[in-house]
Structure 1
């Protein structure tokens, strides 16, 4: 029997997306017991040809990687890969114990903590927004008085924009604090409480990008710059991703070089990073950097736009194998994803999904709400109600096609009754 690949953190789409890459009976999933129960994971993996075994393990907790290693020394994995943000430290430490390629435990801990990442990257000369740890609305008000203009209140250790909000008036600090500290991620996290640490930062106004970089021994093997747009409003939730970003070569090179500086600053070794930036007055300011696959379908956009089998190349790196193909330096085409949201209320009707699916360039169209569903507001990435993915010859055309397809979808919502 071949050595398994250990995937930490259950992601449903992996069951089909990774089957052509890894083959049948090749994967052992590791997931928190509460999440296995709440997401009904066992029957899903039982039906998948990809999965050999599911191991329930409280991997969020300290010391659990070393405990896992001692309990499963004979597992002999070929690679250890985090599929979710919260899985990255466990996967990195476990890779060290099995002597496999990985981010490095120290690097993973820094990338998981936005406050630590600010501290470490700033010392390396990387531009960061002014930022302080806060423990109360009074702390937020004190920061705002010394830092005129809008600020961002955010958790130091969450994912998917959970608990993040932009505010401009100190009088709103108490309300924003009450909203932001409610960080219920539902079925995606264990039932036990998670540590709450909040930051307040100066709001940086500018164009937003992310860099997806495949790394071996701290060196870049492949890099892409993605352009980003946000939904309007105080919650910084992604509305659009375009691959590659519609920018000149100089800015592409600058963002790539700054991402390499982050990798060097934290000591990241092997894997893939998703590093987010805001460019203001020509200067990239670091937002955050994740030591894992990018979400929001960005990897699929990259694979279609370049094209490149990035999944296959990534797993080669994590196995310590040669790359299966020459990595492209430029995209041959473009791709985009456009997300959907609706007004707060009860969904009355959903129309136009089939028409959008048939629209020019569309290769995926998904709407997750139906008649009778209640939508309580856009607070994080988990709250978006659908997405459309397209390909095109240029970034501008990809964006146009995505917007045109979304315009075909109509979702009627009845406002909630006033209390």
Structure 2
């Protein structure tokens, strides 16, 4: 198997080597990003081309050069920012791909909103924002959300409740945190404002093959309440009424058709307001936050392997009926200097109900305010035989594990 990977995603390289120990992986990555990523080596990496693909067509010269030398079996977008380049590369190599319209709308929230309006998919009132004056004009007295339109994760996504908050929110979003997956050169950023949608949040993950949905999952999401929008938990499959999942399937199918999606994995986020789904955003890449691991454990098939097989026209061996209930929750700690973490021995008592846990801070570390998903301090993943048992177990863990902060020392 020979893979063209746009964006050096170590997880995909590992998965490919499990499927085929002799796999050859050719990687295209931006020089700046490669420098910022954690070091990773594998005997399966045959060549890495350091070339621009963010808002650039420079990478296509490498694709054409390699395409003349080798026969590739699939093209994989390693990250959200490489979806467009992966689509163009697969088009040139005549391999399965999402399609031009899908690559465009699922990497830009303004274009996605325009598509929703065209296709009759419920979405909030919105406007592309190019100045603070436009943001002030959009605000109508009710809470709104201001965020980048062509960036990922929760960086720069801010809730605005009052007119007095507009100036600070505008400044904070435009001066957003730097991202590892963005090159150091200036990449144009677009912005969007939209009405805040009140309701519980779900995500929908699906595989699309030859324009048809062949697998779909509904995830219940838990998020923070306040100025920032950070996800702190996911349950697979979600405890969601069938009346809602039926509508989600209908609208997701309409989205696939309207965007002319051929072959892809789609991860969309929705708010459910009075039983009605409203689309918040959709990405054409593997979901984050360990959702693939949750799905893999719930349905007992490997999501990454299935995706790779779909992209190379092989049988993905998918199970469409779940066999377990899986949940991830992120630890929530107050900001400050961490003094100690107590009662971690609870994880030794969970037996096979514990899938894994990880803590990314240690005593002496400064814990920042939770303003984006990159600042979470760790997580645990558990399984059980029902939604109720799963939530009860998670509550027990959260009540037991204690992050003790040094109240005499502030964050430096």
Same fold (TM over 0.5): yes
1: CA distance, partners of 2:188 / 2:84: 15
Q: TM-score, normalised by structure 1?
A: 0.91
2: CA distance, partners of 1:120 / 1:295: 24
Q: Deviations over 1:256-302 (max 9, x none)?
A: 22111111111111021001111112221111111111111111111
| 1:395 alignment counterpart | 387
Structure 1 residue 59, shift from structure 2 partner? 1.7
Asked if 1:329 is matched to 2:320, the reply is yes
| 2:374 alignment counterpart | 382
Contact 2:8 2:27 in 1 (8 A): yes
Contact 2:298 2:326 in 1 (8 A): yes
| 1:201 alignment counterpart | 194
Farther-moved stretch of structure 1 (330-339 vs 13-22): 13-22
Farther-moved stretch of structure 1 (330-339 vs 340-349): 340-349
| 1:105 alignment counterpart | 100
RMSD: 2.1
- Counterpart pick for 2:142 among 149, 153, 157: 149
Structure 1 residue 37, shift from structure 2 partner? 1.2
Structure 1 residue 16, shift from structure 2 partner? 4.1
Asked if 1:181 is matched to 2:166, the reply is no
| 2:64 alignment counterpart | 70
1: CA distance, partners of 2:135 / 2:240: 35
In structure 1, runs of 5+ residues without a counterpart are none
2: CA distance, partners of 1:294 / 1:394: 24
CA change 1:418–1:23 in 2 (3 A) is closer
2: CA distance, partners of 1:320 / 1:22: 15
| 1:8 alignment counterpart | 6
CA change 1:160–1:353 in 2 (3 A) is farther
Structure 1 residue 34, shift from structure 2 partner? 1.0
| 1:347 alignment counterpart | 338
CA change 1:282–1:28 in 2 (3 A) is same
In structure 2, runs of 5+ residues without a counterpart are none
How many residues get paired? 409
2: CA distance, partners of 1:254 / 1:328: 22
Contact 1:64 1:90 in 2 (8 A): no
2: CA distance, partners of 1:224 / 1:174: 39
2: CA distance, partners of 1:18 / 1:377: 37
2: CA distance, partners of 1:24 / 1:363: 29
CA change 1:202–1:399 in 2 (3 A) is same
Asked if 1:230 is matched to 2:223, the reply is yes
